[in-house]
Amino acid sequence: MKAIARSIFTAALAALLAAPLLAQAQAWPSKQIRIIVPFPPGAFNDTLARTLAQELPKTLGQPVIVENRPGSGSLVGTELAAKAAPDGYTLFIAALPFSVIQSLYKTSFDVTKDFAPITLAGVSDNMLVANPSFAPSSVPELIKLAREKPGRVNYGSSGGGTSVHLCMELFKTMTKIFMTHIPYRGSAPVVADLIAGQVDVMFDNLPNVIQHVKSGRMKALAVSGPKRSPLAPEVPTVAEAGVPGFEVTVWFGLLAPTGVPRDIIQRLNAESTRIINSPEVTDRFLKLGVSPNTGTPEQFGDLVKSEVARWAKVIKDAGIKAE
């Protein structure tokens, strides 16, 4: 009887101790949620965050704010998110640079261990663009000039380790050319300088430059993906333009710090997927050059792991260093 009584007491105590945690999980969300973006406003990762921040409160019943925390090639914002409490009140927008950050910097976190994937959100291309007055108007012409006059051609990027930086470094490696790198803190300032003629060429996420191409303030030389973009079908892929095997697809997704309860992750997956795949948001993203592409947390986690391995090899083989 004493053993039975002890068992009952132990079970009751465990239930009592678990009750506050259960209540906390069931009450989520009970306060404001923040989404950290490790880049300045203006690029698509910020657009994605603000779209979710606008729509999530309609079903979650709590406000959602966006915090832009740029710096050190996205290291500042990523570290902040990695060390946040795993309570479902801090979310993080990741893009391709997320998968290369550990290969370029000494980090206090591991992107495959310290983050819980929620969902992939969309994929896009980078577009190779130039100032309209820049002499080369094709990939072969750019390669020819860069080979004839090494270092004379400059290219801008939104920072070391970003997809646009790595895309160009891969391009340089595969074509055996040298161009001078001018890193910026974010996409908007380098786009402005390219339009002004202070930067010759750059790769940038298609959503950031397509309207400038259509308006004539930039000229497009190629896109980085495996096929032409429906937004610019006249623009060849880099592979078509003379660099066979070149392919870079940019991705965007939502994560949280590892340790967030599974039921919260699943709800965030369901809510985010619903928002991204809604006709209005899908149409808006497609017009920007981003194809909505959602899935399970596990599928997104597998993508991150494969991208980490792929870019680690590219960075090592090309000798790319953080700038």
With beta carbons less than 8 A apart as the criterion, state whether 127 and 201 touch: no
45 pLDDT band, cuts 50/70/90, is: very high
pLDDT at 8 over 80: no
| Helix-helix angle 44-55:206-215, to 10 degrees | 110
Q: Which has more confidence, 119 or 71?
A: 119
The string of pLDDT tens digits covering residues 255-314 is 999 999 999 999 999 999 999 999 999 999 999 889 999 999 999 999 999 999 999 988
* Mean pLDDT taken over the chain: 90
Distance of alpha carbon 138 from alpha carbon 146, whole angstroms? 12
pLDDT > 90: what percent of the chain?
Answer: 76
Domain extent listing, the chain: 32-124+249-318, 125-223
The string of pLDDT tens digits covering residues 58-115 is 999 999 999 999 888 789 999 999 999 999 999 999 998 899 999 988 899 999 999 9
**Which pLDDT value is given to residue 215?**
96
**Same fold yes or no, 32-124+249-318 and 125-223:** yes
- For 32-124+249-318, CATH number out of 3.40.140.10, 1.25.50.10, 3.40.190.150, 3.40.50.300 equals 3.40.190.150
6 pLDDT band, cuts 50/70/90, is: low
Fold held by 125-223: D-Maltodextrin-Binding Protein; domain 2 (3.40.190)
User: What global pTM score does this model have?
Assistant: 0.81
With beta carbons less than 8 A apart as the criterion, state whether 28 and 256 touch: no
Residue with tokens 């989520």: 28
